[in-house]
Amino acid sequence: MISANRKDMDRLKQEFPELNISHAKNVMEFTQLAGPQKVDAMVFLSDSAIKDFHALHTYLRSKPNFRDVPIAVLTRKLGIFPVPISDTSVRNFAAEGGLFLPLLEFFEKIEKKGSFHAMMTSDFLMTAFARSLSEHIGNHPDFTASPACDDDLHAEFQAQLSDEIATNLLWIKFSARILLRNSESLAQLLAQMTETEAQAYQEQILNLTFKKFTEDLWKNLRADGATQFVASMEMAPQYRLPYMKAAQNSGLVFKSDYCHVLLEISRYI
């Protein structure tokens, strides 16, 4: 355990008496204390660790004994990391309600070795978006998804919305458009509106869909202790550009009798 106060170790021992716990005030002291011993997990209890975590993480992973050690960063409230890391062994939990529950979840996840590093799948994203889209259209139509073709990517549209989720377990930028073609039922409704009203109506559908979609994703990511980054445009170029260049881009068309919606995703992690 790394924290400024040695009494934090006593608190942790009270919560987990079965664990063999060592304490240090900083990373260098901890690695020296551990020596060649096997370390099963590391716990940072510090709000300031987030600010310097990229350097601390780089140092730790340079040590043979610490290359794969799971790391929990406990902060009073969930933090936002200024520099992205793609290491799925790092988790961030809020400790404002005490140490027991967040660390219990962390230790349980470590025990499930097969799923500890599991990433959010494309199928999960597709299902969550289709469910969110259907929920906010009047008659709740069923949407089926298929890969977008070039015609879909260049089809005419009136409304578009974009968003981003940036964590070490899922980092995506995504945008959605309601396509004008193949949307007969929607077109009939829009024909009764002014152009401004029609655009506002479609933007409302997308806003409500995105709200539900991102809530579903964040619920799962928070439960897994995902570390959240600042938005990509707030990152220094040297940190974001390697991820941007390696991005996996995909497009899906969600089809129903009511309308067709194009979802484009750029996945960085």
Query: Which CATH number belongs to the domain containing residue 64 in this structure?
Result: 3.40.50.2300
Output the pLDDT for position 225: 94
In a domain, 1, yes or no: no
Closest CA to 157 of 261, 229, 250, 76: 261
Question: How far lies 18's CA from each of 15, 21, 93, 161, 205, in Å?
Answer: 9, 9, 21, 50, 52
Instruction: Give the residue from 92, 165, 88, 83 showing the smallest Cα distance to 124.
Output: 165
- pLDDT in the model for residue 114: 67
The string of DSSP letters for 83-102 reads: S----TTEEEEE-TT-SHHH
Considering the entire predicted model, what is its pTM?
A: 0.91
List all residues 6 or more positions away from 178 whose beta carbon is below 8 Å from its beta carbon.
157, 158, 159, 186, 202, 205, 206, 259, 260, 261
- Do 232 and 193 sit in the same domain of this protein? yes
How far apart CA 3 and CA 216 sit, in angstroms, is 33
Alpha carbon distance 23, 2 (integer Å): 6
d(CA 144, CA 89): 34
Handedness of CA 69, 75, 78, 82 (dihedral sign): negative
Per-residue pLDDT of the chain (269 residues; tens, 9 = 90+): 999 999 999 989 999 999 999 999 999 999 999 988 899 999 999 888 898 999 999 999 999 999 999 999 999 999 899 999 999 999 999 988 888 988 998 998 888 866 778 888 999 999 999 999 999 887 788 999 999 999 999 999 989 999 999 999 999 999 999 998 877 788 889 899 998 999 999 999 999 999 999 999 999 999 999 999 999 999 999 999 999 999 999 999 999 989 999 999 999 99
Q: Are residues 130 and 208 in the same domain?
A: yes
Q: 205: part of which helix (H) or strand (E)?
A: helix 195-223
The alpha carbon of 132 is separated from its chain's Cα centroid by a whole number of angstroms, namely 17
- Domain coverage including residue 110: 7-116
Domain count, the chain: 2
Of 116, 144, 179, the last residue of a domain is 116
Do the domain assignments include residue 2? Answer: no
pLDDT value at position 17?
92
Instruction: Note the pLDDT of residue 98.
Output: 85
Quote the CA–CA distance of 140 and 11 in Å, as a whole number.
Answer: 51
42 and 24 in a common domain = yes
